[in-house]
Amino acid sequence: MPDKSNIPEQGQRIRYGKLIRHISLRQNIISFNDFAKKQQAFKKSTNKQNCVSLRGIDIYRLLAPYISSRFLEQAKAVIPLAMYLVLFQILVLNQTVSTPVMIASGLLAVIIGLMLFMEGLGKGLMPFGEVIGQNLPAKVSLPIVLMIAFMLGIGVTFAEPAIGALQAAGSILKVQNAPYLYTMLNEWSGTLVLIVGLGVGFAVVLGTLRLLYGWSLKPFIYSSLTPALLLTIWLMQDDELAKVLGLAWDCGAVTTGPVTVPLVLALGIGIASTAGRGSSALSGFGIVTLASLFPIIGVMLLTIFVASTTTPEAIIDAALHSTHLASKTVPAWYQTSPSTEILSGLQAIVPLVVFLMLVLRLVLREKLPTPGIIVYGIILCVLGMIIFNIGLRFGLSLLGEQAGARLSSAFAMIEGVKESPIYSWSIGFTIALVFAWILGFGATVAEPALNALGNTVETLTNGAFEKKLLIYAVAFGVACGIALGVVKIVLGLPLSWFLIPLYGLALILTWFSTEEFVNVAWDSAGVTTGPVTVPLVLAMGLGLGNAVNAIEGFGILSLASIGPILTVLITGLWVQYQIHRKHLKNERQIEGDLA
């Protein structure tokens, strides 16, 4: 520290040389570590002295605005859809909602569960992804980076809330209608989720390489969609295997939820930024597309493997035998609710957290930036997942299944509905299509992630593709896709009749579209499949399928995914045409002025 004995008084004018002499010679040098220790000790003593004791009312006033805003954010996604389904049953179908108290309690649990889960995701899991994405490429080689990215893709799939809806769908299905589909959702359900995770992991690896080297998305779409369509044609040749196509293509929509998208994007963009490639306007696009295509291929390959190991007759006999045994035995504690939801919540989050912690400590040799907050976030994630699973079982899935079953009473004779059919076949079927279309359009417009995508696209295209235009294009595509799904289930048409021509058209449109619009269009399908929409639409399709004695009720989600791809690609080509015409007009005007 400077010697104060010869320091001039404040305000006194001195020569510059004298000032330099005071600064350079008359000072004491101390260790920064000693200084930091003293500062830390001072802060601790000050914090102890300044501790504030809060009353209960003070805690309430501090937390109420914080909690209410997050509660309302999730309520806006759940309550309008639930009210639409309830009012449609009451006003259009003249039917009351069965077990309303249970469904209302379940929906409340869904809202609270999502609120806790999303808050925990931001506080607990996202910091892991950001730290790993920023530090991993600088400390390990590219092969190790890709291996960790692959394993992360598997882990986040198990943590997706909507995955539970797929597993729950197995309890609604009748084994006699679709044996292979039944065994995939019951005996092979764990392997099914693992295969979906492997597909997501492979997609994360390729998506990261694409961001790293700036590759075009078009070749990846062609090379992944072509085998998916060829496998679809192959499975079409067998009547029993064809019944699994709806599940396989729906799995592509389930994977792109609130856990997978932010975590894999944080990792991919972090790796690309470290390599100096993350500043592009298209950074982050493409991984979602690949994460929705590769699981489709994986599930179809798993179906072929299962078919090579067993027969439909053996599956039916085993299912009936297990059902008979289950009726005579008392289920274990872990097989009843809420134990199953608690275990599934722990199994979804804890392994992912352990993996991320091992990467952070053993590979990166890094510490958690704010361990207390991260542990708090992880606890919220687990609690949120458990409460969401309970609400999904007793609220969202129950309401969706009930709405789907009652929907068919508008045009068909349904057991338990005395007045069915309520309308003539043509009027009732039209009402069902309008109901499905409005459900898809409204759920998509209300999706928060779509608004964020709209802002990105408007910036990316310099205002040529407006945010409102994108939102309406995506919502129109989803609405038409869900309506087509209802047509497929009610009329009993093969899903391949819709998928092959629609995806073939998508490939043609992709060929003529620019890279920006291809990235936006194919990623827009993943944005619309949130943790509320997926279980609701799945349950509605299965309920509708059972009511009209359809073989299976899958396929609505896959058609809801291809719909926005087509509408955004078509809208993008129209925007390109408008821009090209405007440029020609400007060039002609300039040539006229020069002449």
The one-digit pLDDT tens for each residue of the chain (595 residues) are 445 555 556 566 777 666 666 666 555 666 666 666 666 665 555 555 556 677 778 777 777 787 888 888 888 888 888 899 899 888 888 888 888 899 999 999 999 998 998 888 888 877 777 777 777 777 888 888 888 888 888 888 887 777 767 766 666 677 888 899 889 888 888 899 899 999 988 988 888 888 777 788 899 999 999 999 999 999 999 888 998 998 899 888 777 766 776 677 666 666 666 665 555 555 567 778 888 899 999 999 999 999 999 999 998 888 887 776 666 676 666 667 778 878 878 887 888 888 888 888 888 887 777 888 888 988 998 899 889 888 888 888 888 888 888 888 888 887 777 777 888 889 989 999 999 999 888 888 877 667 767 777 777 677 777 888 888 999 999 999 999 999 998 888 888 899 999 999 999 999 998 888 888 888 887 766 677 777 788 888 878 887 887 767 788 888 988 999 999 999 989 988 888 788 888 888 887 777 6
pLDDT at 304: 94
Residues 285 and 208: beta-carbon distance below 8 Å: no
Element (H, E) at 421: none
What's the CA gap between 9 and 13, in Å, rounded? 9
| Residue 187: C-alpha distances to residues 170, 190, 300, 306, 558 (Å) | 10, 8, 16, 11, 24
Instruction: State how far the Cα of 494 lies from the Cα of 479, in Å rounded to an integer.
Output: 20
Q: Which of 435, 450, 479 lies closest to 261 in space, CA to CA?
A: 450
Whole-angstrom distance, CA of residue 410 vs CA of residue 398: 19
Report the C-alpha gap between 140 and 312 in whole angstroms: 49
Neighbours of 390 (CB within 10 A): 22
Location of structure tokens 């929906």: 107
Q: DSSP state, 7? A: P
Residue 591, pLDDT score:
76
Tokens standing for 471? 């939102």
Ramachandran region, residue 370 (left: φ > 0; alpha: ψ -120 to 50; beta: rest): beta
**CA-CA distance, 555 to 252, in Å (whole number)?**
11
Residues 6 or more apart whose Cβ sits within 8 Å of residue 82:
107, 399
